[in-house]
Structure 1
Amino acid sequence: MPISDADKERIAEAIAAAERRTAGEIVCVLARRSSDYAYVPPLLAALIALIAPWPLVFFTELGVRLILAIQILVFIGAALLFSLPPLRLALTPRFVKRERAHRAAIEQFFTRGVSATRDRTGVLIFVSLGERYARIVADEGIAAKIPQEDWRAALDLLLARVREGRIADGFVDAIGECARLLSKHVPPGGHEELPDRIYVI
């Protein structure tokens, strides 16, 4: 478990304290990773298996059947090796991981009901550990008042703590910074619409 129950409680308390300063609704999501990237091992293994026979064809006297058998073994071996989770994640191109993490953040924005608040004042704080990715997604009621670049300070705090292994501290600090921003543009009022909690997926 990336964070303890005590950490979850501390984050929930930080959200509750933040929402006393603003009508904005803050939701936190921590993902171990945004995808299993199951398609990466067979793709890479297929590429290696396509290349493997050529040195055998040009530099050995092996027969076609034996070369084809070696090619199949190379594919199976490479696919099994690349299926090891740390290696699979390391071999996935960075742009693919960022795109998948971004998509996961948007999915969580809708799944957790952040987009469904009455005045469209929801904010999602999303972290995906496997991809080393973090994002703050604000609904249109807030995005119209606070430009995306203003969330940078909260993201910097969050990422700095996560790099140090202090995930809960990162969320608490980011929540506090979000509350500071929100209180300027979305004053307190209304009623609680979303649970004060962090979702770990």
Structure 2
Amino acid sequence: MSLINTQEQQLLTDAIQRVENNTDAELVTVLARQADDYRYIPLLWASLIGLLVPGAINYYPEWLSPHQLILSQWVLFIGLALLFQIPALQYRLIPRQVRYWRASNLARRQFLEQNLHHTNGETGILIFVSEAERYVEILVDRGISSRIPDSYWESIVKQFTEQVRRGDVAKGFVECIEACGVELQRQIPATSKKNELPNHLVIL
């Protein structure tokens, strides 16, 4: 996983500053390596297979004695639990809905933890990325949602998500910030010079 380097982080900070010079909105960017460690998913799959496969074989009593059945279940469970810890295999076992749900929950927690709900005029906007899940979300406070419909952000999120999938996270961030800035400057123009929240990228 290739997180953003120091030089790229500065590009993001500069992009946020340029946008905030022309709008009352407060932008915060957050990049998470992954939304969850999903340790329970490999264990769940290993448990199910460990129970079902030897259990199915048990329909043929001449194949396994009761002692051999229990032993085979434990061996299969432990072996699969270790095997499924390999990241490439682990992520194949996690349903997309579960990955997106965990990432979405983390985005909402970050909106609160970064104090985006405490800005003057309720004009906080969070650009959130969870790299492992290839997940992008833009969350805005009421002062923005009352002027800009949620549908406006959909195309921006879609384009950014494709860039994250290609590994162009830094470029995607900058272009996303600039795209958000176009409408923010039009609908929520700057009325005073302020900077309530940090402009640097938050990395989790």
CA separation of 1:72 and 1:194: change in aligned 2, threshold 3 A: same
Q: CA deviation at 1:31?
A: 1.0
Q: CA deviation at 1:161?
A: 2.5
Q: CA deviation at 1:78?
A: 0.9
Moved more, 1-10 or 55-64: 55-64
1:40-75 CA distance string (max 9 Å, x none): 011111100111223432334321011101111111
Identity %: 36
Task: Provide the C-alpha distance between the structure 1 equivalents of 2:78 and 2:88, rounded to a whole number of angstroms.
Answer: 18
The answer to whether structure 1 residue 164 and structure 2 residue 160 are counterparts is no
Residue 202 of structure 2 is matched in structure 1 by 199
Task: Provide the C-alpha distance between the structure 1 equivalents of 2:63 and 2:197, rounded to a whole number of angstroms.
Answer: 69
CA separation of 1:23 and 1:76: change in aligned 2, threshold 3 A: same
Residue 124 of structure 1 is matched in structure 2 by 126
Residue 21 of structure 1 is matched in structure 2 by 22
Residue 154 of structure 1 is matched in structure 2 by 156
Task: Provide the C-alpha distance between the structure 2 equivalents of 1:183 and 1:61, rounded to a whole number of angstroms.
Answer: 73
Q: CA deviation at 1:83?
A: 1.6
Structure 1 gap segments, 5+ residues each: none
Task: Provide the C-alpha distance between the structure 2 equivalents of 1:90 and 1:198, rounded to a whole number of angstroms.
Answer: 29
Q: Does the 8 A contact of 1:26 with 1:122 survive in 2?
A: yes
CA RMSD in angstroms comes to 1.3
Residue 51 of structure 1 is matched in structure 2 by 52
Q: Which amino acid aligns with 1:107?
A: R
Task: Provide the C-alpha distance between the structure 1 equivalents of 2:113 and 2:175, rounded to a whole number of angstroms.
Answer: 24
Residue 5 of structure 2 is matched in structure 1 by 4
Q: Which amino acid aligns with 2:127?
A: I
Q: Does the 8 A contact of 1:153 with 1:177 survive in 2?
A: no
1:58 is paired with a residue whose SS is coil
User: In the alignment, which of 134, 137, 142 is matched to residue 135 of structure 1?
Assistant: 137
Residue 93 of structure 1 is matched in structure 2 by 95
Q: Does the 8 A contact of 1:23 with 1:188 survive in 2?
A: yes
Q: CA deviation at 1:189?
A: 2.5
Q: Which amino acid aligns with 2:75?
A: L
TM-score, normalised to structure 1's length?
0.95
Task: Provide the C-alpha distance between the structure 2 equivalents of 1:18 and 1:148, rounded to a whole number of angstroms.
Answer: 19
1:130 is paired with a residue whose SS is coil
Task: Provide the C-alpha distance between the structure 2 equivalents of 1:163 and 1:69, rounded to a whole number of angstroms.
Answer: 42
Listed as ranges, the matches of 1:72-83 within 5 Å are 72-83=74-85
1:127-184 CA distance string (max 9 Å, x none): 1111111010001110111111011232233223223322111011110111111111
Residue 33 of structure 1 is matched in structure 2 by 34
1:52 is paired with a residue whose SS is helix
Runs of 4+ with >3 A deviation: none
Structure 2 gap segments, 5+ residues each: none
Q: Does the 8 A contact of 1:154 with 1:175 survive in 2?
A: no
Moved more, 170-179 or 151-160: 151-160
